[in-house]
């Protein structure tokens, strides 16, 4: 279980971005975090990863208080697939191996298969030995995401933090990324900053962040009925999937 208890944090001294924020994330469940742009969602992820140590309140992972851990300790338990995916100027295989530097080539390729990246990798000039980044081939957004997912699958950490992109990929790319994420999420504790309706619908719990606090929580159906703020966010922030000519409304 992950627990935030009265956590406050700000980038500048004048005001608290995160302000006495309290919530729990159950082990093995999928929890979605929603909130307006700039409300502090990514900041909550960074706090959980131990990037900032000047927060007030308590953050715990399992029975451990984050403040007692070294940064490297927290990272062992967490894989992040973020909004900006950083690829090094190196081969595809080494970019994936970053998830676990001790992994064999076969283990890297198995992770790439689960991340739906194997086929497009084989279609590049030198396959797994193709250089990516500035000096090599440029990958599409969906391909980069799948490299990041392959990395995370290889790392096999029990906690997955997923910061969903705010804009949708094209339908086909989106499909492969979603399949890859499903493979990554198996048997993990998943905490996702969600913009897609399908992600939200599939979550065990949704947390609504506003003014530094979780102001509403529950499942999609409950929040659509009772969540005042959720309903507004739903209209403005959430990407509805369009399949064929139909918009799917739940």
Ligand X SMILES: Nc1ncnc2c1ncn2[C@@H]1O[C@H](COP(=O)(O)OP(=O)(O)OP(=O)(O)O)[C@@H](O)[C@H]1O
What are the residues facing 78 on neighbouring strands?
A: 159
Binds ligand X by CB under 6 A, chosen from 13, 14, 38, 243? 38
Cα–Cα distance measured from residue 222 to residue 77, given in angstroms and rounded to the nearest whole number = 31
Choose among 97, 125, 100: nearest CA to 109: 97
Stretch that binds ligand X, among 39-47, 95-103, 180-188, 199-207 (CB under 6 A): 39-47
Note whether 24 binds Mg ion by CB under 5 A. Answer: no
Tokens representing 210?
Answer: 């506003």
The site partner of 43 among ligand X, Mg ion, none (C-beta below 5 to 8 Å per kind) is ligand X
Binds ligand X by CB under 6 A, chosen from 1, 6, 11, 64? 11
Note whether 17 binds ligand X by CB under 6 A. Answer: yes
Cα–Cα distance measured from residue 8 to residue 20, given in angstroms and rounded to the nearest whole number = 5
Per-residue mark of binding to Mg ion, 32-51 (x: CB under 5 A): ---------xx---------
The total of other beta-carbon atoms located within 10 Å of residue 155's CB is 19
Stretch that binds ligand X, among 34-42, 62-70, 146-154, 225-233 (CB under 6 A): 34-42
Cα–Cα distance measured from residue 2 to residue 190, given in angstroms and rounded to the nearest whole number = 11
Q: Which is nearer to ligand X, 39 or 143 (CB)?
A: 39
| Cβ 42 to Mg ion shortest distance, Å | 3
Note whether 43 binds ligand X by CB under 6 A. Answer: yes
List of residues contacting ligand X (CB under 6 A): 11, 17, 35, 37-43
């Amino acid at each position: 279980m992950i627990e935030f208890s009265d956590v406050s944090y700000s980038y500048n001294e004048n005001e608290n971005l995160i302000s006495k924020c309290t919530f729990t994330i159950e082990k093995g469940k999928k929890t979605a975090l929603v909130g307006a742009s700039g409300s502090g969602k990514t900041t909550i992820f960074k706090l959980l990863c131990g990037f900032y140590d000047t927060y007030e309140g308590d953050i715990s992972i399992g029975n451990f208080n984050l403040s007692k851990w070294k940064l490297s300790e927290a990272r062992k338990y967490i894989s992040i697939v973020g909004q900006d995916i950083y690829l090094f100027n190196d081969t595809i295989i080494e970019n994936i191996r970053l998830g676990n530097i001790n992994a064999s080539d076969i283990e890297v390729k198995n992770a790439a298969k689960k991340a739906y990246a194997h086929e497009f990798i084989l279609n590049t000039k030198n396959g797994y030995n193709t250089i990516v980044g500035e000096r090599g081939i440029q990958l599409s957004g969906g391909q980069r995401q799948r490299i990041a997912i392959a990395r995370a699958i290889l790392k096999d950490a029990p906690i997955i933090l997923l910061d969903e992109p705010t804009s949708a990929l094209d339908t086909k790319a989106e499909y492969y990324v979603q399949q890859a994420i499903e493979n990554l999420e198996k048997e993990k504790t998943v905490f996702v900053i969600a913009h897609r309706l399908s992600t939200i619908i599939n979550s065990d719990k949704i947390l609504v962040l506003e003014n530094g606090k979780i102001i509403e929580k529950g499942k999609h159906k409950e929040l659509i009925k009772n969540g005042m703020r959720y309903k507004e966010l739903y209209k403005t922030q959430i990407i509805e999937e369009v399949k064929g000519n139909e918009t799917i409304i739940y």
